[in-house]
Amino acid sequence: MTSETQETQARGHARRGKSGLRQMQKDLTRKLVTDAALKVFDERGFAAATMDEIATEASLNRGTIYLHFSNKAEILQTAINQMTGLRPLYEQLSNSESRSEREAAFELIYDFWTEEVAHIWIHVREAAAMDAGINQWLVRFIGRYSSWTQDVLEQHGVERELARARAFLLQNMWVEFIYRQRDGGSELNRRAVVTALIDLYETARTP
């Protein structure tokens, strides 16, 4: 290998290293902003919160915020999209072979939604009522999880359109429960909710 080739490779590695570092810094900044925004939304509500307040909470200047997000609706969407842990839980449910295994999967799904999603969900509902873009995104978000449930039901022999209808109803009932739970409108305990979910699911997966 010639010295010229080595230098070329070294420059290429350096560029990739700098690019990776920039992406890491970008991701960290976006996470800092979304965390700050959720805190401001909790304190002020989505409608009343401002980008200036989010910037102050994140200890960033306003210009930096706008380099990453065009508005607070985009910040909220990003906060939800950063949660990547649900798909593996639905896959675990899909692969479960006994009621006890499905119970374990539903317990994890319940915990994820109530601990990771619920504190954001009330802001999503508020935002959807005042922002058409957020409302359309919310429909797609619910549809994504509904389609995962539909796939599971079809694997158990449920006809496609029936599986689609059952999955849609189950998912919408679930997100409404999450909203009510966070809003203080439900005092149902975890064990009762998980058992009810399994019962509904066992019925839904019957062809």
Q: What is the pLDDT of residues 67-83, one digit of tens each?
A: 999 999 999 988 887 77
Stretch 121-141: mean pLDDT, rounded?
87
The number of residues in the chain equals 207
Burial of 120: CB neighbours in 10 Å, binned 0-12, 13-18, 19+: buried
What is the average pLDDT value for the chain, to the nearest integer?
A: 86
> Cβ of 49: how many Cβ atoms within 10 Å?
22
Stretch 96-108: mean pLDDT, rounded?
90
Which fold would CATH assign to domain 83-204? Tetracycline Repressor; domain 2 (1.10.357)
- Percent with pLDDT over 70 in the chain: 88
For the question of whether the overall pTM of this predicted structure is more than 0.85, the answer is no
Superfamily of domain 3-79: Homeodomain-like (1.10.10.60)
Distances (CA, A) of 101 to 86, 94, 97, 98, 162: 17, 10, 7, 5, 25
> Cβ of 165: how many Cβ atoms within 10 Å?
16
- Percent with pLDDT over 90 in the chain: 41
Q: Where are the domains of the chain?
A: 3-79, 83-204
